[in-house]
Amino acid sequence: MRDQYSIIFIFLIIALGGCSLAALKSKKAIGSTVSLFMASVTPPIIGNLIIVRSGTELPASIGYYIYFLGMDLMIWSMLKFVVEYCNYKWKKGKLRAVLEIFLTADILQYGFDLFFDQAFSTEPIKVDGFNYYRLVPHIGQAYHRAVVYGILVVILIMLLVKTIRSSKVYSERYSVIFGTLVFAALWQTFYIFSRTPVDRSMIGFGIFGLLIFYFSLYYRPMRLLDRMLANIASEMPEALFFFDSNNKCIWGNKPAQELTGLTDETIDKANEVLDAKFGDCTGKPDNWFSGFTLGTDDDAQYYVIENHYVTDDQGKTAGSFLSIRDNTDEQRKLKRELYNATHDRLTGLYTKEYMFQRISEMLHSSPDVKRYILSLNIRNFKIVNDIFSPEFGDKVLIYLSERIRANLTDNSIFGRLGGDVFGACVPVDEFDLDEFEKRLSTFKVADMAVEYNILIHVGAYEITDKDTDVAVMFDRAHLAIQTIKDDYHKHLALYDDNMRQKVLWDQHITAQLSAALADGQIRPYLQAIADTNGKIIGAEALARWIHPTEGFLSPAKFIPVFEKNGMIVEVDRYMWRSACEILARWQKDGIDLFISVNISPKDFYFMDVSAEIQELVKQYGVEPARLRIEITETVMMTDIENKMRILDELRKAGFIVEMDDFGSGYSSLNMLKDMPVDVLKIDMKFLSRTEDVLRAQTIVRNIINLSDDLGISALTEGVETEDQYHVLSDMGCRMFQGYYFSKPIPVSEFESLYQSGIKSL
């Protein structure tokens, strides 16, 4: 008996010691607490081992001390462990402090026992013929038991509460620990009351310690994991199919069963059903995925299908699972967003950017088809908006977009470039420019009772190089529109290479203007103006550009370009200054002549004409009457009052104002009486257009008579023959300019011409 218990105790001591070391090395947070507890179970067992082995009183007493003090240590570390294991928090540590005070008192009383024997004594008995010292408890021992059982009860309550509160799978481990502890405690109680010599319940505590070692460090509730995963899988919104290593379907979650119409019993047919419904999608490699569309257009359903392998501990494929997710909503949302980003809100046509992209894609996918780029522009759309309403304007835009849609074939791409500008790319073979122009010319929009003619201009560009930027192609189509101007019968213009050349030319010379002015490449030529005697009385300054590479450039080559882009202001300022320089020199040399300078309508936009000219003559000390100012009728077409004021101002300052190119445009004789001008320049070339010479002469005579009546002098320019000169002279004209007298010539030549006194008639 004695030996058997000894062996069991030694075995437990070694096992617990080993576990204690193992627990210490564990990386788990609870490891050190478990280790301490394991270690603390050994002293009571060691104590009992000593008791069992002693044949004399002293060692037996030592054994009892080790036993009881060991019990205190064990119960304390058990408490610490259980609190940690069950995740309890000491509330302010009050209970713990109380329990520890009781324990400390117990340890102290065993100290007193050495002198007072108040805890226990021993009595010798014979067991199986051996001397054995049995415990005789005193009052102190009762205290010890009360403390130990008290704490044990606290621990059991903690475990019990945890067992009840935890979910079933978790409560398993708590209940086993709880059960073992109850068992060990009852066993010990039995020992106390039966007064058997050996405390066999130590075996119970030893086993309890080993169980704790296992449950706290190694036990993983596999059933829990399985259950959790199964729950997750069945509650996933996507359909999940699980296959074994033979690619046989073994389970499908609820969405999977709904998707295939299969049940738990028939799920093994999943492969056939899935392959038929979603293309060949089963038995795919690991991490394979694919998108699948079921149905077409608006009713289409979209799915994302993924296959994943499941491997076992050795890394061998144990099976696979296929997930099928319905992402129709996302796809629809995406499509909607894409639509909004690529389509104009008002008309539903493509936006500019998207149309450019589509055109460029089409040009590259079928490069051999000849195509036009069209730019459609509503003429005076602002007026439509102003006269009617922005709502009506919107209606016009929608209407026009429908018109465009109806007139273009399926192989065309069209969209809204912005505002009132639309664009299209159409195959040349499927598009008749003339027919299209005709159809658009009858475009009317009705608002209630009012019917409004909408004028649409179309510029067409035939694509020659598909690699040209689409934006540039539209620029060209747009450029063609600008050539339509105000012709009410023309609605469509085709871009040609001349336009391109012209644009290039414009850019070419515009870039060089500033340098040309600074270098003196642009300079004034003078054309003589004569009186009835043929005597030179003045000159008109006309710009010439002696270009280093292009050679001699007549104003027709550059003046209109700068007039369009506003840079004419630079040219004119330069010309006026040059005229003043010449006049100042002539004044000094006693040459009594005037110079007329040209003023472009644009000058009035970009500068204070009156102030600049007055400042110039002041600077050069030139008499204002010697600098004549030529304006054209077009100047007076806009902002009349302001222009009148400026011209009045100039005349008051002593300048002579001339109306250039009279008869070329819109002004009527009637208007003339209100014009603040001193001289009327009548250009022969406008009259020589008329075949009927007599008629032309009548007109000129009338103009001259009328201007006489109004106190305005008449000047005819473009006089090329002696005959013309005589006729005009007879009609009462007093001033003449034209090749008959002189072409525009460099200043020095003009001065020589003047000195030699040409044409004394």
Interface contacts to ligand C2E, rule CB under 6 A: 527, 542-543, 554-556, 559, 568, 571-572, 575, 598, 600, 660-661, 685, 717-720, 737-739, 744
**Six-digit token pair at 621?**
């000390």
Q: Where in 419-535 does DSSP place strands (E)?
A: 421-427, 444-447, 450-453, 456-462, 492-494, 522-531
Q: Which of 72, 660, 678, 751 binds Ca ion (CB under 5 A)?
A: 660
Strand positions, DSSP E, 195-336: 239-244, 249-252, 289-294, 301-311, 317-326
User: What residue 530 binds from ligand C2E, Ca ion, none (CB within 5 to 8 A, per partner kind)?
Assistant: none
Residue closer to Ca ion by CB (options 20, 596) is 596
DSSP state, residue 463: -
**Site stretch for Ca ion (CB under 5 A), options 16-24, 418-426, 595-603, 671-679:** 595-603
Minimum distance, C-beta of residue 598 to ligand C2E, in the bound complex (Å): 4
Name the residue nearer to Ca ion (CB basis): 130 or 686.
686
Q: Is 658 in the site for Ca ion (CB under 5 A)?
A: no
Quick one: angle between helices 555-565 and 568-589, nearest 10? Answer: 120
Q: Smallest distance from the beta carbon of 665 to Ca ion, in angstroms?
A: 12
Residues forming a β-bridge with 494: 460
CB of 681 to ligand C2E, least distance (A): 7
What is the closest distance, in whole angstroms, from the C-beta atom of residue 544 to ligand C2E in the complex? 8
Q: C-beta of 664: minimal distance to Ca ion in Å?
A: 8
Q: Which helix (H) or strand (E) holds 539?
A: strand 536-547
CA distance 433 to 436: 5
Angle (CA) 576-582-585 rounded to 5° is: 140
Residue 417 belongs to what H/E stretch? strand 413-418
Pick the stretch among 126-134, 206-214, 570-578, 594-602 that binds Ca ion (CB under 5 A): 594-602
Nearer to ligand C2E, 283 or 555 (CB): 555
With CB under 5 to 8 Å by kind, the binding choice for 572 among Ca ion, ligand C2E, none is ligand C2E
Collapse the DSSP code of 334 into the 3-class scheme (helix H, G, I; strand E, B; otherwise coil) and give the result.
helix
Find which of ligand C2E, Ca ion, none residue 556 binds, CB within 5 to 8 Å per kind. Answer: ligand C2E
Cα-to-chain-centroid distance, residue 351: 16
Q: Which part of the chain contacts Ca ion (CB under 5 A), choosing from 166-174, 387-395, 411-419, 596-604? A: 596-604
- Given phi > 0 = left and psi -120 to 50 = alpha, else beta, which region is 202? alpha
Tell me the closest approach of the beta carbon of residue 669 to ligand C2E, in angstroms: 20
Radius of gyration of the chain (CA): 56
Tokens 């102003």 belong to residue: 386
Q: Which is nearer to Ca ion, 199 or 660 (CB)?
A: 660
- In this chain, which stretch among 158-166, 185-193, 610-618, 626-634 interacts with Ca ion, using CB under 5 A? 626-634
- Shortest Å, Cβ 342 to ligand C2E: 48
Q: What is the C-alpha to C-alpha distance for residues 672 and 715, in angstroms, rounded to an integer?
A: 15
Closer CB to ligand C2E, 523 or 535, in the complex: 523
Pick from 282, 527, 598, 737 the residue near Ca ion by CB under 5 A: 598
Tell me how far, at minimum, the Cβ of 600 lies from ligand C2E, in Å.
Answer: 4
> Rounded to the nearest whole angstrom, what is the least distance from the CB of residue 598 to Ca ion in the complex?
5
Q: Is residue 10 within a helix (H) or strand (E), and if so which, with residue range?
A: helix 2-25
Segment interacting with Ca ion, rule: CB under 5 A, options 390-398, 505-513, 582-590, 592-600:
592-600
For residue 688, the minimal CB distance to Ca ion (Å) is: 14
6/53 Cα distance (integer angstroms): 8
Residue among 372, 368, 379, 355 at smallest CA distance from 407: 372
Any contact of residue 420 with Ca ion (CB under 5 A)?
no
Which of Ca ion, ligand C2E, none interacts with 543 (beta carbon under 5 to 8 A by kind)? ligand C2E
Q: How far is the CB of 448 from ligand C2E (least distance, A)?
A: 48
CB of 622 to Ca ion, least distance (A): 19
Among residues 307 and 512, whose Cβ is nearest to ligand C2E? Answer: 512
**Closest to ligand C2E by CB, 661 or 751:** 661
Residue spans of alpha helices (H) in 590-629:
601-606, 609-620
CB-CB contact of 450 with 385 (8 Å): no
Q: Within the chain, what is the greatest distance between any pair of CA atoms? A: 176
Contacts of 19 (CB under 8 A, 6+ apart): 38, 209, 210, 213
Q: 555 contacts which partner out of Ca ion, ligand C2E, none, CB within 5 to 8 A by kind?
A: ligand C2E
Residues 438 to 497: which contact Ca ion by CB under 5 A?
A: none
In Å, what is the CA distance from 650 to each residue of 338, 633, 658? 62, 17, 12
Extract the tokens encoding 129.
């013929």
Binding site partner of 528, from ligand C2E, Ca ion, none, Cβ cut-off 5-8 A by kind: none
| DSSP structure class, residue 689 | T
Nearer to ligand C2E, 420 or 683 (CB): 683
Q: How far is the CB of 630 from Ca ion (least distance, A)?
A: 4
Alpha-carbon distance 309 to 290, whole Å?
16
**Residue 572 within binding range of Ca ion, rule CB under 5 A:** no
Please state, as a whole number, how many other Cβ atoms lie within 10 Å of the Cβ of residue 84: 16
Task: Return the one option of Ca ion, ligand C2E, none that residue 88 interacts with (CB less than 5 to 8 A, by type).
Answer: none
State how far the Cα of 403 lies from the Cα of 176, in Å rounded to an integer: 85
- Cα 209 to Cα 28, 72, 200, 206, 719: the distances in Å are 17, 15, 15, 5, 131
Q: Which residue's CB is nearer to ligand C2E, number 667 or number 737?
A: 737
The H-or-E segment that residue 367 falls in is none
Q: For the segment 627-646, give every residue that binds Ca ion (CB under 5 A).
A: 630
218 binds, among ligand C2E, Ca ion, none (CB under 5 to 8 A by kind): none
> Which residues form the interface with Ca ion (CB under 5 A)?
598, 630, 660-661
